[in-house]
Amino acid sequence: MTKSLAPALALGLAVAAAPATAAELKLAHFMSPQHPMHEAVMVPLAEAVEEATDGELTIRIYPAGELGSGPNQQYRRALTGIADIAFNLPQYTPAAFDRSPLLHVPGLFDSPQQATRRIWEEIDALAPDFSEVELLAFWTNNPAMLFTRDTPVRSLADIEGLKIRAPDPVSAQIIEAWGASPVSMSATETYNAMSTGVVDGTLIGASAVGSYNLQEVSDYVTLNVPGALSTFTLIMNQQAYDGLSESQRAALDEASGESLSMLGAEGFAAAGERGLEALRAADVELLELSDEALAEFEAAMAGPINAYLESEGEAAGFDGPAFVDRFRTAE
């Protein structure tokens, strides 16, 4: 009798010794583990949370679409709980976000660090976009540059008629105003689209060079074309967040927010420098618009941008241009 009870008693003691509220969160993203944001944001978050909770709360990272392919589905994965935490780009699902995609107006910010700091100073203005999820981080990359395959773009006339990959709805409006044809697609599709001629060029930040080997499919890069920064978020399923213990939520809050967002911004800035070095090493021709040419680009897009902001804001019940102006910090 005593022998038969011993295993059960030992099992009971082992269970009692384990943390009663131990939990593992699933973090999903669609990039490879070599992407700069995997190392700059995802891994530091997981390490900080595990250390702060003595292992009672851990984060398992599922890269490369392991919990479902397609960057456009990231928001829904977090919303429905397929992932507890998801890496999401608001511009990929603009119907779900009224305010965040408007920050893609060129000329608002000079750098990802400056942009991210300013966004967190005004983070409450973005709260309606995240009413159904918990916002853990919000940051940007470098201003977009224009990568082209066969055509050097030194003037507005040079871009006319080209098919240009548009990273977001604002950029699509701008590309059309420049006389080119916008083609919406995710960054992960850019290499193939450039190499096969589906597009003649792409608007994207320098950090994408290393992630997608754009030096292999680009002949020219116009560095100072008026390009916006893209926005990036980590969002969490609200039920999963609320289900954590008070100490676990405190540890997650401490490890996320503005400090984690700045890691992302700094990671993109560093990746952008590496991207420029890779372009130079590959003998991609780097171009600069003259002041006169830059003025032409800016004049062509001014009216359409304002009309777009007014239309989007009116549809959502706020002043779009005024909303964007509160974030403007570029010199």
**pLDDT tens track for 104-160:** 999 999 999 999 999 999 999 999 999 999 999 999 999 999 999 999 999 999 999
Mean predicted confidence (pLDDT) in 68-81: 93
What CATH fold (topology level) applies to the domain 21-141+230-272?
D-Maltodextrin-Binding Protein; domain 2 (3.40.190)
Specify the 3-state DSSP secondary structure of 24: strand
316: exposed, middle or buried (C-beta count within 10 Å: 0-12, 13-18, 19+)?
middle
Q: What is the 3-class SS of 249-305, one letter each residue?
A: HHHHHHHCHHHHHHHHHHHHHHHHHHHHHHHHHCCCEEECCCHHHHHHHHHHHHHHH
In tens, the pLDDT along 29-39 reads 999 999 999 99
Lowest mean pLDDT among 78-82, 122-126, 327-331: 327-331
User: Considering the chain, what percentage of its residues have pLDDT values greater than 70?
Assistant: 94
What's the rounded Cα separation, in Å, for the pair 287 and 305? 25
Q: Yes or no: is domain 145-228+282-325 CATH 3.40.190.170?
A: yes
Shared fold status for 21-141+230-272 and 145-228+282-325: yes
Residue 179 above 60 pLDDT?
A: yes
Task: Report the helix count and the strand count for the chain, using DSSP H and E.
Answer: 14, 11
Q: Where are the domains of the chain?
A: 21-141+230-272, 145-228+282-325
- Residue 20: per-residue pLDDT: 43
Mean predicted confidence (pLDDT) in 47-70: 96
The pTM for the full model equals 0.90
What's the rounded Cα separation, in Å, for the pair 295 and 261? 33
Residue 244 above 80 pLDDT?
A: yes
In tens, the pLDDT along 251-279 reads 999 999 999 999 999 999 999 999 999 99
Residue 68: HSE in the Cβ half-sphere, 13 Å Cα cutoff: 17
What's the rounded Cα separation, in Å, for the pair 235 and 134? 6
* Band (21; pLDDT cuts 50, 70, 90): low
- Residue 98: per-residue pLDDT: 96
What six digits make up the tokens of 117? 């700091």
> ∠ at Cα 172 (171, 175), nearest 5°?
85
Gyration radius of the chain over CA positions: 22
